[in-house]
Structure 1
Amino acid sequence: MSLATTSTAMVGRDAELAVLDDALRRATEGEPASVLVGGEAGIGKSRLTAEFRRRVATDATVLTGWCLDYGSTPAPFGPLPAILRGALDELGDRADEAAGPGRDALQLLLPERGGAPVDRSAMRPEGLRETIANLLEAAAAIRPVVVVIEDLHWADAATLSMLSFLLRALAGRPVLFLLTCRIDEVRRGGAVRTFLAEAERARLLDRVTLGRLDALGVRDLVQGLRGPIDDAALARLLERSEGVPFFVEELLCNVRGPMPDTLRDVLLARFDALGDDAKRVVRLASGSDGAIAHELLVALAGFADERLDDALREAMGAGILAVRDDESYGFRHALLREAVHDDLLPGERARLHWAYADALEAAGGSASALAFHWHRAHDSPRALGAAVSAMLQAKNSYAFSTAARFGELALELWDQVPDAPQVAGLDRIPLLAQLGSILRNGGDGERALTVVSLALGEIDTTTVDAAVHARLLRDKALYLQNLGRAGSVELLTEALAVIDGCEGEERLRATLLNYLGGRHLTGARLHQAVATSDEAFRIAERIGFDNAMSVAANLRACSRIHLGEVEAGLADFRLSWEHATDHDAQLRYRVNFADTLNMLGRFREAVAVAELGVEHSRSLGVERATGSILSHNMIEPLIELGEIARVEAAMASDLSVRTLQVFRMYSTMSHLRALVWRGGITEAAELLRDWRATAEAVSEVERQVWYSLRDVEILLALGAGDPVQAAEALRRAIDDSGPRLAHLCRLLLEGARVVADLRADGEAELAAATAESVRTAWSDLPLELQIPNWGVVLTAVLDADAEALAAAIPVADAEDIPVIFRPLVRLELARVRVAAGDRVAATDIATEAAEIAEKLGHDRLQRRTAEFIEAAGLSRAAGRGVQPADAVELTAREQQVLDLIAEGLSNRQIGERLFISGKTASVHVSAILRKLSVSSRTEAAVAARARD
């Protein structure tokens, strides 16, 4: 028999194939359905995916890519070129149209598509991933697409980031991602482990773990390979292979000698049986990270054609090598390559990689491959030059994490090369600056901060160019800002001092002033923000720097509105738009203007501005990336408008993979609000606990986060039925001695809900004190921030006056009032009507409140309204006879609670007296009011005296 023993039939994987079949069915039907096939080396992951590809080939487009083993510095986007070429072939003439506005970005991964050189200055990092998503989506519109990525354990960081994006962007499309990974080889804390944890936690991936074959499975495999086997031989084979299919096949090939004792011997058994030429070819092939091209193998082997062909045939006949894509050769299994490569002596290994690097360099090979091979060959100068080139190439392809690894390799090699600046083509300080920027863009803020701090520590301030020094200070300030830490203001101030008096640096000065103005704004140093932005605007205007003028006017607008100068701020926003001549300034304007409109209660306008921003991002080909920030900017006004279904849909397609700490904070706060709206109090409380420490830290430098944290604390307490805790959070916000932002207006309006719930729970004293505190704080606001309609609703609810509440209903129904006040104002009016004895009018208005609350799907308002209607007996027909109080039967516990109501105790106080929770006390109170057919605690107290 041939030494090449490979089963043609799939053994023992019917259940796993069924899972993959079901996943494709679900993906075809529009459900998110992607699968990770995990298992140890040799367990049959690739065999399973190959069988699945064969089964679905006629019904789906199958696109396959491989992650390559490039050691610690893999090539960026390893599996993507093969996948993209398959998608382009499927789309044919429609490919360019399907790719969208960012189609030129494909040249970064597919150089063969190049006509004119890529203009990277006009491209965005988001454009490449948006374009890839567009292509896969278009291919899936023809027929379902299966994207197979093999050997994820070798994936580079750029591939992982892209995959994180695509799993989210194409969720719900007929696209099935099928990934294979040696889970046991994934390093804890590494990029692959982090990716898998995040993807599985977000329910983006289902895991199928392949186990080892049992005795029956091994028997079936052996019979398929070489016929029947006796029990003794089967037991021996099972013991040696431990049920790993690849090892079973390898052991069966060793028919001419004794059974090997070690795995290494198992793997090398058929290699050792090769002739010298075949061994040389296999050793040469082991130096390649993936398949080795025929031309490269010819160059390395130095054989005549016929001699090389004979050696290749022998290696393939032994089942070690196999033909790949008609132009190259690869090992039949990665474990074989590892075993052969590891069997080389250190000197042999270094010479092998030197030969690879020399041949690749002569052929114009990629910088990433050259860096890998020169490094393994211990040629530090050549490895340094290649590493710097690979870093820049990966950066230009937006593979920032991969670029960072090559940059760190360059730093590692720097001191080993005497003339490093000449070899690298740049000095050490610019290298550090580049690496810091790359790390920041790759999402590693901590490492970026370390690198830029290292650069600042190494520069000689007496000789270095002032602009270089200032830019390093600026970079450190930005990295601190991204991490939500203090220190940015001092660094930016120092940077401005460094270039003070320098000629020709006005653009840099205007930019630094805008950064500083932004830091003053987020820190609520509003007058300083206005002054700094004024100066930036004047400098930019003098030199005709429109972008800086737009940003300065934008920052000044936000600052003035927080100071209560609303009209002046809106005028500055108009000025900002006039000078927004590039995409960055335009998108920044729409982000901040939408946020401001929401803050001022102009909710529908805020949504419209954000939608224009999304459309703008779509035209740039970054809808799923930069556009997702603007999509999120629609969430808060949509919550205020009560369009919670749109909010949930937007959050379900939140595509932010690695984004700034502060933006993740805002996203989390909005998620909390949506959870509370739907009644997900437990989940919201757990999420807040997870994020609180981070939120408190960030709020030290981002004042808006401080207000957002107080807001969700109030909402969560109200949703949990604890208005006392909500009142405490509100009091902290009102009494805080820190600087105030316009966000306080919305918190004070929420104070009306707090007071209403306190009154309903019998906390009369605390309700009165809270109402007075809210009134005072509202009157202390700048006049332009005392939004008229908000004031009408707020005053009516705080005063609980029937006439004011009736007048507030049409005001609450307008779109510039948060929609939750529509049922709330009606509910409070119904309470007042019941207290006045007008139960018919109360029934009508309470019914309206209940209908609105149900339509909005607001959990707490629905329950509050239903509890009131039930407790007040408004669901019973008016005029129905009511039992005398002394004829009503109460349980012993209810009688205890009624006695305490008569003493004037609140729900919380009743709970403390009876050693029960306030919520349990509230349930008893509602039951008592219902049984006594009364609507208030006062009426219940009167009924209690009648029962005595």
Structure 2
Amino acid sequence: MLLERQTQLAQLDGLLAQAGRGRGHVAALSGEAGAGKSALVEAFIGEAGARARILRSACEDLSIPDPLGPLYDLAREAQWAMPQAVDARRGERLPLFSDALDVFDATAGATILVIEDLHWADDATLDFVRFLGRRIANTHILLLLTARTDRSEGQMRVRRALGEIPAASVARIDVPLLSEAAVLSLAGAAGRDGDAIYRATAGNAFFVTELLSCECETALPASVRDAVLARAERLSAGARSMLDAVSVFPRRADAWALAGLCGVASAGQLAECVSNGLLDDLGDAYAFRHEIARHAIETMLTTSHRRAFNQRALSALLERGDVATARLVHHAVEAHNLETVRELAPVAAREASRVGAHRDATGYYEVALRQADTLPAQERAGLYEQYAFECHLIARIDDAIEAQEKARALQQALGNGLKEGDSLRWLSRFAYLLGDRQAADRFGAQAVALLESVGPSAELAMAYSNLSQLAMLAERLHEALSLGSRAMELAERLNRPDVVCHALNNVGAAEQWLDLASSRRHLARSLEIALQKNFQEHAARAFTNCACGGMNQLDYREAQSFLDRGIDYCVENDLATWRDYMHGVRAQLRLRQGCWDEAASEALDVIGNDQATALVRYPALVALAKLRLRRGDPSA
């Protein structure tokens, strides 16, 4: 019986009706764990099934999320061959997401896309939600999300993702705890003490359900965990062992995996767990009725039992051969199977990076590096380099520098001057991002000196371009042009458009004070190459320098255009560092245009982001300081 949810169901019905007319929406259901979000989804979908195509997915509580896991689920439900689409798009997300939008909006009627437990989502899945949310208004899609309202990092990332979708396209629907009256009604129908149940549960729907199913009449279990364990104790020994085995599978355990895990007796044991209300039979899989229940059973396992069950799960999944690498790594880590971790964690990291889940790629590299001591030095150095790159993309610059230093030391010991020189060039870049200009200049000069001694290379071309960028930023214009030209000449000879793109940006930015027409040509060419070749960071930098050039020439309309396009580009490609930097620049533009309140709001959004480095916060701080000076504010 679903009580006190008629308002939410009516709101969802209204949104579905609008989707049927071609006005899609995002509906975000939020509430604490156990509040009844999934029950509300089930009730809505059960009633809406005749009016819409329904595609379902969920995020899993893996140690590190499975990149785009929910999108793969939705693709299977829509019978779309997404793995081939990923390969065809070479991991580029925007074309892939565009394909997904075409698939999901292919029918004349409404389509409901469900993604549950978004607080466990990877970065790439959140980017898909942003992408779809920014285009959903003109579709027949209702995107139905559920997420917890705790103060976890995952929930904060969900809040930020929803905040970057146009407000008119998002309906936030609260799923509150049950009132005392509702609990008394449910308890009365079951012949139980409603007052005692409400005091114990405070209206948490899942806990209420567990206590109503509890056979203990004297003393109520003190927590959901205790209620679940009390029910589990009624199982036979075999069924209880099966319940323990299922508990190590986040979200759901495939029937074929359990058969491989527990043998021929598994069917009867699973049936007993289902009849006792501990598991749901999903047809091809089994799952706990709620993550709270799964977690309660899993936490009761001894370390040795948890490792043993995860190893058996890993073996069953490896035999299958078509399981997501993220799931394999999760079970390998839990099983303490170091050999498999060493083999698969770097693969999972590269897969995550490929689709733009950089936070998750960082996590996988951390897992790999914890077990890397026995690897050859060259392989270990490569892991540190890749880890440093991913860290810098998510603004963990201190970690990036530490990892790059370790990579450099390993390359130096191996006598690999080319790789050591490239490490020095990266250290120069990281030092600049951290705000340490002296270290940036020192590392940059050391990189060029070492790489020149090795001979012409793409690494040397990029080292020249790095020095050109540093000179441009210090307004040493002729030095920036000379080094930039040297970088472009070598890069073109070696067919490296990424380095050409980077150097064109430096040269164009420096030329604005010497030859405006040439500056605009070079910056436009840099942006064109970056967008064409999907050089995302180069594109963000080109948008920024084009906008700054417009502001310097007092062409505020052009600057506004580049900033708006650049920020949209960064949002859709999860380039948080450049997004925040450009918001600061746009705050400065708003100030120049006399839009003081908008300038303050945009600047404060950046300054309030604890993840932003000092360099990223700089344009916003300048805007806010100037504004407060003009207002006579003593806090300037």
Common fold, TM-score beyond 0.5?
A: yes
Query: Structure 1 residue 374 and structure 2 residue 332: aligned?
Result: yes
Query: Structure 1 residue 124 and structure 2 residue 92: aligned?
Result: yes
How far 1:347 moved relative to its partner?
1.9
Counterpart contact for 1:476–1:491, Cα < 8 Å: yes
Residue 313 of structure 2 is matched in structure 1 by 356
How far 1:148 moved relative to its partner?
2.0
Counterpart contact for 1:28–1:174, Cα < 8 Å: yes
Counterpart contact for 1:16–1:208, Cα < 8 Å: yes
Residue 76 of structure 1 is matched in structure 2 by 67
AA of the residue aligned to 1:48: L
Query: Structure 1 residue 384 and structure 2 residue 335: aligned?
Result: no
Residue 182 of structure 2 is matched in structure 1 by 217
* SS at structure 2 position matched to 1:461: helix
Shift of the 634–134 alpha-carbon distance from structure 1 to 2, 3 Å rule, reads farther
Residue 51 of structure 2 is matched in structure 1 by 59
**Residue in structure 2 matching 1:237, options 197, 201, 204:** 197
- State how far apart, in whole Å, the 2-side matches of 1:410 and 1:372 are: 12
How far 1:13 moved relative to its partner?
1.5
Residue 528 of structure 1 is matched in structure 2 by 479
- State how far apart, in whole Å, the 1-side matches of 2:207 and 2:88 are: 51
Query: Structure 1 residue 669 and structure 2 residue 585: aligned?
Result: yes
How far 1:433 moved relative to its partner?
0.4
How far 1:356 moved relative to its partner?
1.2
Residues 314-355 of structure 1: CA deviation (Å, up to 9, x unaligned): 22111112222x211112222222222222222222211121
Shift of the 49–672 alpha-carbon distance from structure 1 to 2, 3 Å rule, reads farther
Residue 492 of structure 1 is matched in structure 2 by 444
Residue 396 of structure 1 is matched in structure 2 by 354
Residue 682 of structure 1 is matched in structure 2 by 597
AA of the residue aligned to 2:443: L
Counterpart contact for 2:570–2:576, Cα < 8 Å: no
Alignment of 1:421-432 (within 5 A): 421=376, 427-432=379-384
Residue 156 of structure 1 is matched in structure 2 by 122
Residues 686-739 of structure 1: CA deviation (Å, up to 9, x unaligned): 444665899996499x9xx69x9589958995xx8x9xx9xxx9xxxxxxxxxx
- State how far apart, in whole Å, the 2-side matches of 1:431 and 1:406 are: 10
Counterpart contact for 1:436–1:447, Cα < 8 Å: yes
Q: How many residues align?
A: 625
Query: Structure 1 residue 420 and structure 2 residue 386: aligned?
Result: no
Residue 875 of structure 1 is matched in structure 2 by none
* SS at structure 1 position matched to 2:465: helix
Gaps of 5+ in 2: none
Alignment of 1:13-24 (within 5 A): 13-24=5-16
* SS at structure 1 position matched to 2:145: strand
How far 1:551 moved relative to its partner?
5.3
AA of the residue aligned to 2:278: I
Shift of the 298–523 alpha-carbon distance from structure 1 to 2, 3 Å rule, reads same
Residues 364-388 of structure 1: CA deviation (Å, up to 9, x unaligned): 3443222222222223333332322
Alignment of 1:745-894 (within 5 A): none
Query: Structure 1 residue 634 and structure 2 residue 561: aligned?
Result: yes
Shift of the 329–439 alpha-carbon distance from structure 1 to 2, 3 Å rule, reads same
Residue 898 of structure 1 is matched in structure 2 by none
* SS at structure 2 position matched to 1:43: coil
AA of the residue aligned to 2:586: S
- State how far apart, in whole Å, the 2-side matches of 1:533 and 1:595 are: 20
Shift of the 123–348 alpha-carbon distance from structure 1 to 2, 3 Å rule, reads closer
Shift of the 177–675 alpha-carbon distance from structure 1 to 2, 3 Å rule, reads farther
AA of the residue aligned to 1:73: I
- State how far apart, in whole Å, the 2-side matches of 1:32 and 1:509 are: 51
How far 1:602 moved relative to its partner?
11
Residue 795 of structure 1 is matched in structure 2 by none
Residue 286 of structure 2 is matched in structure 1 by 329
How far 1:217 moved relative to its partner?
0.8
AA of the residue aligned to 1:413: Q
Residue 112 of structure 2 is matched in structure 1 by 146
- State how far apart, in whole Å, the 2-side matches of 1:696 and 1:378 are: 36
Residues 530-559 of structure 1: CA deviation (Å, up to 9, x unaligned): 111232244345556566556545643443
Counterpart contact for 1:280–1:301, Cα < 8 Å: no
Alignment of 1:227-626 (within 5 A): 229=191, 233-255=193-215, 258-263=218-223, 264-303=225-264, 307-324=265-282, 326-364=283-321, 365-415=323-373, 419-421=374-376, 427-442=379-394, 444-456=396-408, 458-459=409-410, 461=412, 463-482=414-433, 486=437, 487-503=439-455, 505-540=456-491, 548=499, 552=503, 555-563=506-514, 565-566=515-516, 583=533, 598=550
- State how far apart, in whole Å, the 2-side matches of 1:696 and 1:355 are: 44
* SS at structure 1 position matched to 2:287: strand
Residue 799 of structure 1 is matched in structure 2 by none
Alignment of 1:867-946 (within 5 A): none
Counterpart contact for 2:127–2:161, Cα < 8 Å: no
When the two chains are superposed, the root-mean-square deviation of aligned CA atoms in Å is 4.3
AA of the residue aligned to 1:342: T
Counterpart contact for 1:33–1:206, Cα < 8 Å: yes
Residue 921 of structure 1 is matched in structure 2 by none
Residue 887 of structure 1 is matched in structure 2 by none
Q: Which moved more, 1:653-662 or 1:436-445?
A: 653-662
Residue 162 of structure 2 is matched in structure 1 by 199
- State how far apart, in whole Å, the 2-side matches of 1:523 and 1:10 are: 65
Counterpart contact for 2:395–2:577, Cα < 8 Å: no
* SS at structure 1 position matched to 2:454: coil
Residue 824 of structure 1 is matched in structure 2 by none
AA of the residue aligned to 1:247: F
Residue 804 of structure 1 is matched in structure 2 by none
Shift of the 383–578 alpha-carbon distance from structure 1 to 2, 3 Å rule, reads closer
AA of the residue aligned to 1:266: A
How far 1:78 moved relative to its partner?
2.6
Residues 273-304 of structure 1: CA deviation (Å, up to 9, x unaligned): 2223322222221121122112111111122x
Counterpart contact for 1:414–1:420, Cα < 8 Å: yes
AA of the residue aligned to 1:539: L
- State how far apart, in whole Å, the 1-side matches of 2:325 and 2:93 are: 21
Counterpart contact for 1:673–1:712, Cα < 8 Å: no
Greater Rg by CA = 1
How far 1:568 moved relative to its partner?
5.9
Residues 765-786 of structure 1: CA deviation (Å, up to 9, x unaligned): xxxxxxxxxxxxxxxxxxxxxx
Residue 575 of structure 2 is matched in structure 1 by 659
Counterpart contact for 2:603–2:624, Cα < 8 Å: no
- State how far apart, in whole Å, the 2-side matches of 1:176 and 1:696 are: 37
Shift of the 52–390 alpha-carbon distance from structure 1 to 2, 3 Å rule, reads same
Shift of the 200–262 alpha-carbon distance from structure 1 to 2, 3 Å rule, reads same
Counterpart contact for 1:387–1:406, Cα < 8 Å: yes
AA of the residue aligned to 2:302: L
Counterpart contact for 2:488–2:500, Cα < 8 Å: yes
Shift of the 381–671 alpha-carbon distance from structure 1 to 2, 3 Å rule, reads same
* SS at structure 2 position matched to 1:343: coil
Residue 173 of structure 2 is matched in structure 1 by 208
Counterpart contact for 1:470–1:495, Cα < 8 Å: yes
